Amino acid sequence: MTDVEHDSTTARTIPAGGNGRPDSFASLRIRNYRIYTLGQSTSVVGNWMQNVAVGWMTLQLTHSGTMLGLVIGARYLPVLLFGAWGGLVVDRHDTRRLLALTQIWFAVQAALLTVLSAAHLVTLPLLVVIMLTLGITNLFDSPARQKLISELVDAEHLTNAIAINSTFVNTAKLLGPGAAGFVIAALGVAPCFALDTVSFLAVLVSLAMLRTSEMHPAEREVRAKGQIRAGLTHIRRTPELLYPMSMVYVTGILTWEFPVSLPLLTTSGFHSGPAGYGAAMALMSAGGVLGGFAAMRRRRLSTRSLSVSALIWGALICAAALAPSLPVALALLVLVGAGSVTFNASAKTLMQVGAAPQMRGRVMAIWSIGWMGGHRHRRADRGGDRRLLRPPQRTARRRGGRGRRRYPRAAPHLGRTTRNRTELSRPHTDARRGALRCCRSPCVRHSGLRSGLTAQSVRRRCG
């Protein structure tokens, strides 16, 4: 028995239990979907351990937020440039076999990272290349994963299946970052990559156990010209797709930058280590689990409810950005995680149900560009804004010319003249930023102390 929910924009069928209320776990009674979801959730644990390890290793190699944004952006650049083509490939081929190939390639790349990190051979250019290859694989993996859900359940259970998948994935994301933080602190990054390699075997086993006779495969697209343009036209002419897709692009480009902003916030903003970063990711994923349970029990799903979810989520992100301390920020990140899953699960449901079956791969690929790839082109800039997350500091003014640092002239009692040169007390600053440089002429015009700083006992002779 089902309850049919009507809205001014859409009409949806929600599975219900015997008491007339929506059954939150109705899709788990379907064997194929249950096996795939368990395997996929296991892989997500390892994948998020790898994501945390890559971010932490990049910061350790470069100490640069800009380089962190470059590494993460490299993984999603192929999705941004060729995502629609990847969805077309998914529409033309068997979804399960294509997904098995992507999992094998992911496992090979994770094993390579394990060996390189254990041997201390990882360099920044090599890491960028590996992330680019991961991005190329994601061209086909992301739309294939989204499309396979609609082939494992019927249309009646699709809404519930997407919500359950989001809940299980976020439960895995709750375990992955937290475990990665402790593993990195105790053993280093190499074990994280090793566990990620093993986790892909769970997906391969689950795909092999699926019963093809119980699946609902969509009709494959026949090769022809203009099929990517046809997918875009399908979205533009279908309001049930156009409105959610527009909101996904706006929120994806402007808000979803947590893999870059969270490590910078915890390390530079609140001076925490890997445990703090892992806690932030884990608590945000915990909120995602709560949001998933809320999405599983939603009785009304429409573009109007999606807009309300977006507004609430945006307000929570602003509150977390203004948090005065790490505990307050962590508490707000729980709510941010809940809002993200509620919004994302609702948007995916509207688009999967509204898309034509033979177009579903392209529709979900274009969704991936907005949600997973559209915002990554700005991440290098976000990483470069790492200084904005630091506590306020005094910065030296630069004099015109070739970037020489100009300090206020030293007071007479703080220096002594020796052979027409002046020896001054060195300010207590970072060695690279505070070292005093002299010229051939008497350097009293170019040296000195920063205003407001006390002279230290360490002295440096000019010349």
Cβ(50)–Cβ(111) below 8 Å: no
**Between residues 167 and 127, the one the model is more confident about:** 127
Q: Please give the mean pLDDT across all residues of the chain.
A: 75
Residues in the chain: 463
> How confident is the model at residue 112, as a pLDDT?
95
At position 306, the amino acid (one-letter code) is L
Quote the CA–CA distance of 325 and 417 in Å, as a whole number: 48
User: Which of 27, 42, 48 shows the shortest CA–CA distance to 282?
Assistant: 48
Residues 92-103: tens digit of each pLDDT: 999 999 999 999
> How confident is the model at residue 300, as a pLDDT?
67
Token pair of 140 as six digits: 């086909």
Q: What is the pTM of this model?
A: 0.67
> How confident is the model at residue 326, as a pLDDT?
83
Please classify residue 375 by burial: count the beta carbons closer than 10 Å to its beta carbon, then call 0-12 exposed, 13-18 middle and 19+ buried. Answer: buried
Cβ(299)–Cβ(13) below 8 Å: no
Q: Counting runs of H as helices and runs of E as strands, what totals does the chain give?
A: 15, 7
User: Which of 215, 279, 253, 293 shows the shortest CA–CA distance to 24?
Assistant: 293
Alpha-carbon separation of residue 358 from 99, 188, 219 (angstroms) = 17, 45, 6
Cβ(363)–Cβ(355) below 8 Å: yes
Token pair of 37 as six digits: 């979801």
Task: Give strand ranges (E) for 353-442.
Answer: 397-398, 405-406, 415-418, 421-425
**Between residues 391 and 302, the one the model is more confident about:** 302
Residue percentage of the chain with pLDDT more than 70:
73
Banded model confidence at residue 259, pLDDT cuts 50, 70, 90: low
User: Which of 110, 139, 323 shows the shortest CA–CA distance to 202?
Assistant: 110
> How confident is the model at residue 307, as a pLDDT?
87
Quote the CA–CA distance of 421 and 443 in Å, as a whole number: 6
Q: Give 333's Cβ-side CA count (13 Å radius).
A: 25
Among 154-168, 234-248, 261-275, 312-326, the range of highest mean pLDDT: 234-248
Quote the CA–CA distance of 164 and 295 in Å, as a whole number: 8
Banded model confidence at residue 414, pLDDT cuts 50, 70, 90: very low
Please classify residue 75 by burial: count the beta carbons closer than 10 Å to its beta carbon, then call 0-12 exposed, 13-18 middle and 19+ buried. Answer: buried
User: Which of 383, 328, 411 shows the shortest CA–CA distance to 68?
Assistant: 383
Token pair of 71 as six digits: 């590494």
Residues 360-380: tens digit of each pLDDT: 888 988 888 887 654 554 444
- DSSP track, 137-158: HHHHHHHHHHHHHHHHS-GGGH
